[in-house]
Structure 1
Amino acid sequence: MNVLIISDTHGWKDQLLQVIERHKNEVDAIIHCGDSELPVDAKELEGVLTVQGNCDIAPFPEEIIQEINGKVFYITHGHYYNVKHSLMNLMYRSEEVGADIVCFGHSHVFTSERSNDKLFINPGSLKNPRLVTTGTYAIYTLHDDRSEEVTYYDLQGNVMKEWSKTF
């Protein structure tokens, strides 16, 4: 199973579409963790599990709980959980909803870590990245042997091997 995870595109329609077009035939689902700054009916987000970020005016849901191929994904932007400082509040919420994988954005910093048997994934920002000079996004992979991998990509679609992780 492969899931494309994007966040914080801040109105970048063309770049968002480029990333989706690049990977749409190899993923089972596409997630946008908020701050798309697009309307709910935007063609760029058709079929994409999208939540509302702090910069979104459109009435996307604040959170989505979605099972994908046997894994429960909890999707949120993260601003209500103070994710720029700690994942503790987000961890509590993910426990409440029974999530296996937590996808969030807001900080514009890509990261992935396992804590309390949950995998936390922030794909970074496609438009305004922090700590790197290029936009980033991620693909989550659940392999047949049940190992999990988070692969980070730069805006041009190059794998960022030094930041990708297997769990």
Structure 2
Amino acid sequence: MKRWLVVSDNHGDRDILVTLKQALQPDTIFHCGDSEMDATDPWFKDVYVVQGNMDHDGQLPLVETPTVDGCKVLLTHGHYDAVHWDLTKLKLHADQEQADLVFFGHTHELAAEQVGGHVFVNPGSISQPRGEFRQLGGTCAVITVTPAQWVVQYYTRDAQPVANLKFTFDR
């Protein structure tokens, strides 16, 4: 069993990233962009990270497609895949990459769903949340990876799980 932290859209709030890493102690970290931090920032050591529309460091890739713990991941910010409209373009991208899981940000709204054989996870914005769950003050997702399932649990900025925001997807 492995624990992955998926975070996005901290918009320069580096301290929250440090806090979450220490509090949640994940095995692997994915950052979906709009960190507004340098690619050389020490926090990014051993972190999968992509460039968002507010990131201006050209050293950050637009897309990453690592295989981690036997799972193919498509990591993107989402602005080039028109995620504000729907998941159609992002699903086509996931099909092309043969991704099991798709992590994206950009909308600042959390989401977890399975579409066309892919599990899509938007952790929401950890610093500037929008939408139905904005009152939580910011969210991230922790994904527990088991041989049979992916369990997506959303957490608040203070590293507390949100009871009604836990989703299980079969592998």
Whether the TM-score (by the shorter chain) exceeds 0.5 is yes
Instruction: Give runs of ≥4 in structure 1 deviating > 2 Å.
Output: none
Alignment length (residue pairs): 164
- Number of the residue aligned with 1:75: 75
- Number of the residue aligned with 2:50: 51
Q: Which has the higher strand share?
A: 2
Which secondary structure does the structure 2 equivalent of 1:84 belong to? coil
Give TM-score, length-normalised by structure 2: 0.93
- Number of the residue aligned with 2:36: 37
Shift of residue 147, structure 1, vs aligned partner:
1.8
d(CA) in 2 for partners of 1:148, 1:31: 15
- Number of the residue aligned with 2:145: 142
Shift of residue 28, structure 1, vs aligned partner:
2.4
Gaps of 5+ in 1: none
Of stretches 114-123 and 43-52 in structure 1, the one that deviates more from structure 2 is: 43-52
Pair 1:161 & 2:160 matched: no
d(CA) in 1 for partners of 2:13, 2:43: 10
Which secondary structure does the structure 1 equivalent of 2:164 belong to? coil
Give TM-score, length-normalised by structure 1: 0.95
Which secondary structure does the structure 1 equivalent of 2:99 belong to? coil
Deviation track 1:34-91 (CA, whole Å, cap 9, x = no partner) reads: 0000001011222111100000001200000000111000000000011011001000
Gaps of 5+ in 2: none
Pair 1:14 & 2:19 matched: no
Shift of residue 163, structure 1, vs aligned partner:
1.6
